[in-house]
Structure 1
């Protein structure tokens, strides 16, 4: 009786492993179907669960089935590494030229606005790129003490602030407020700063969620065109609503040559910490390099963890 139960349990676990394998395979497809896109964003997490199931089967005596599932999981992770390696930049040992904060605050998180504003004032950041900016809009005047140059208000009517803001201690030259596409629910802000005489394009953006399907793909294409139209080094940060291994995101990196940090903190959901999906990113082009990147010490009631990045614009001169 116990042997029969054990065999049936192992069979059920193996069937679950096969189901996960099918979901992972679907996540690799280049469809514009929202379900496929969601699976594409979590396929690494599904693969991690598949590894656990494979090891459990091997311990339980179903070695062949366990090895088959483990082999499939290793193959998937190898594909992810292949896709990410060319666009991943290891930390440099140079002195940083710039400190960045990128944070999706959650628009309804107004009760934590004062705490977020205090954190930003004490952070000593050079640039703050904010998504769902509502919580700090009432404190923009106070924030001007540290960040006198602000971009994101006034683009949709006199005095009105959009949902993406750029706060800077550096003069923002050639400022623009736009939208990636007509379907976009979020604005994108663009400016240029100069650091020791060297220009740097800065873009703060937020893309639609993957369940918008082809509309999100359209935003990735529009962001690619925007990057192609800029000259010189560029920094892009924001909530991309896309994990690093998600096809359209990795395609954007490949097409534009812009780089991500090789090891990004998980940003969503906050409950998973570094094990969560890295859907918020700081990206740099040219020979600019990350010297540090980490999650903010507190998420201040948001459903995203913010990012703190330090960047060396010309690391080879150090």
Structure 2
């Protein structure tokens, strides 16, 4: 029985390690789910290999343990690769962004979501899967008179950007042919500093190559954007993803470490960060915090405080 259990653990762990290691040979979109969860699966493999080693002192179990530690360690390095130290909380000027995928069918919590937006003290709000917010627009317009999305500049109501300050320029674009108008960019004068607020909602990475194509389209937009950029959105992937790593490198974007886990909400802090906030210097992130209550959504929202480096 002991040997049988050892063999079963070894077979299952080897298969999982093989899937995780495939990224070092080629990037296959069908395995994107495992790439985003590389840290989690890697830790699971460490425990499995350690259990196998306890069952039987054998070189193969030790080899599995070493490989699992290496893969997990590399995932942590990738999570940190484009992270920078947060700016001091006392840094000025200080601005705030609220970004939140509220779930397009989450109409039962429209009032609570409206309360969150109204009380957030955010200068700019970016909402994804926005239909539940439409019933709150009358009272929100009093706080955020400037708006893009849900009938303004586009008929679609997936992405919505609200601002307390007028737009210097604004644009709406499609990142791929799969979904229309899921990218918004608005340049806003923040006390004499023009800042480009970008909002992106990407396709799931295991839908063929659309995710990678959308990231390249996003890079094409950002490389001709001269203003400091604050990019927030539902990327449906962690920064461990190979195409996310390449995207961050191409565009010089930075994030905090560790990023707050936003999905799935049932996992709370043990989930993964697929909703991100990226800044390009001279912008510096002061903090990126997860809202306490997902309010019926399958994502947690993020409150981001940031500053402009002198």
**TM tier, shorter chain?**
over 0.9
Superposition deviation, residue 94 in structure 1: 4.1
Q: In 2 relative to 1, CA 233–144 (structure 1 residues): closer, same or farther, beyond 3 Å?
A: same
Aligned residue number for residue 75 of structure 2: 80
TM-score, normalisation: structure 1: 0.90
Aligned residue number for residue 306 of structure 1: 301
Match of 2:126 among 107, 126, 129: 129
Runs of 4+ in structure 1 over 6 Å off:
none
Match of 1:249 among 244, 248, 265: 244
Aligned residue number for residue 92 of structure 1: 87
Aligned residue number for residue 42 of structure 1: 37
Contact (CA 8 Å) 1:57, 1:65: kept in 2 or not? no
- The one-character-per-residue Cα deviations of 1:52-72 (angstroms, maximum 9, x if unpaired) are 112223343436444322211
- The one-character-per-residue Cα deviations of 1:211-252 (angstroms, maximum 9, x if unpaired) are 212122110110010110100210000101111110111110
- Aligned ranges 1:107-256 → 2 under 5 Å: 107-154=104-151, 160-256=155-251
Count residues with an aligned counterpart.
Answer: 308
Secondary structure of 1:39's match? helix
Superposition deviation, residue 128 in structure 1: 1.1
Match of 1:105 among 94, 102, 106: 102
Q: In 2 relative to 1, CA 27–150 (structure 1 residues): closer, same or farther, beyond 3 Å?
A: same
CA RMSD of aligned residues (A): 1.9
- In 2, Cα distance between equivalents of 1:30 and 1:309: 35
Match of 2:20 among 13, 17, 24: 24
Superposition deviation, residue 171 in structure 1: 2.0
- In 1, Cα distance between equivalents of 2:297 and 2:265: 8
- The one-character-per-residue Cα deviations of 1:53-98 (angstroms, maximum 9, x if unpaired) are 1222334343644432221122213333443434111222143511
Aligned residue number for residue 5 of structure 2: 9
Contact (CA 8 Å) 2:78, 2:239: kept in 1 or not? no
Contact (CA 8 Å) 2:39, 2:76: kept in 1 or not? no
